[in-house]
Amino acid sequence: MKESLYQRVARELVQNIASGKYLPGSLLPSELELCEQFNVSRHTIREALRELTALELVSRRKGVGTLVVPKGDENGHSHSLASLEDLLTLAKTNLRVVKKIDEIVADDELAQTIGCRPGSRWLHIASIREDSKKKDAPICWTDSYASPDYAKVRQLVRSDPFSLISDLIEKHYGIKSEEVRQTITAIGVLPKMAKALGVEPGSPAMRIVRRYIDISGNTFETTVSVHPAERYTCSIVLKRQKK
């Protein structure tokens, strides 16, 4: 039987995913971009994507796009973090549940962790990111620290639970991330977050500190996320620098 047009497109997309052109946790090009790439109609692209969805290679989310489904451990989460856009995708596919919002003064330990001056004041937001399939096993606990000047963020984090806080700051205050500096370490889960994460205190976890840097080189937000073991895999693409 002759291969239909949408089946050919689906086959090529499967090959692209298998070859690593589209990494687990990343977004496929938009429907319009795929139409141009394959020189086919939007109907054909939608049929091809429906085929990939049936094969459980991708998942489609309104307002997000077509996400390449991570493979491997069903209990884990694999995300490509090769760009700032990948961080946005990660946020938009996992619901934020706010646990606490307050203002704090940074002590020496916090100042060292987030790279600020001891005694400086910060808007602190504690939250978890739920797994849509396993709400009793959140992906992470995150403590976010931003300037108290961003007062609107207090309401925005609840009304827009899928956006990054840095993205909310950009939309409402015009401060844009030029880069995100990450530090990853292995730790034991602290008692204050163990119950919310559904794990025992001291159990192994991965801590990711992300500092969001603006065009002037200033840190305008820092997040400290703790991911229990086996619930999250961070995939980072390393590329050779061009001479």
- Structural domain total, the chain: 2
The vertex-116 CA angle with 171 and 126, nearest 5°, equals 60
pLDDT digits 0-9 by tens, 1-59: 567 888 889 989 988 887 778 887 788 999 999 999 999 999 999 999 998 888 778 88
Given 18, 35, 68, which residue is the final one in a domain? 68
Last residue of a domain, one of 68, 92, 108: 68
* pLDDT band, residue 74 (cuts 50/70/90): very low
**Rounded Cα–Cα distance for residues 177 and 175 (Å):** 7
Q: Using DSSP, state whether 171 is helix, strand or coil.
A: helix
Q: Is the pLDDT of residue 73 over 50?
A: no
If residue 85 lies in a helix (H) or strand (E), which one and from where to where? helix 84-92
**Contact assessment for residue 105 and residue 118, using Cβ atoms and an 8 Å cutoff:** no
- Is the same domain home to 123 and 198? yes
Q: How many residues does the chain have?
A: 243
- pTM higher than 0.95, yes or no? no
State the pLDDT at residue 82: 60
The CATH number that applies at residue 160 is 3.40.1410.10
Is residue 242 included in any domain, yes or no? no
Q: How many CB atoms lie within 10 A of CB 137?
A: 15
Query: How far is it, in rounded angstroms, from Cα 107 to Cα 145?
Result: 13
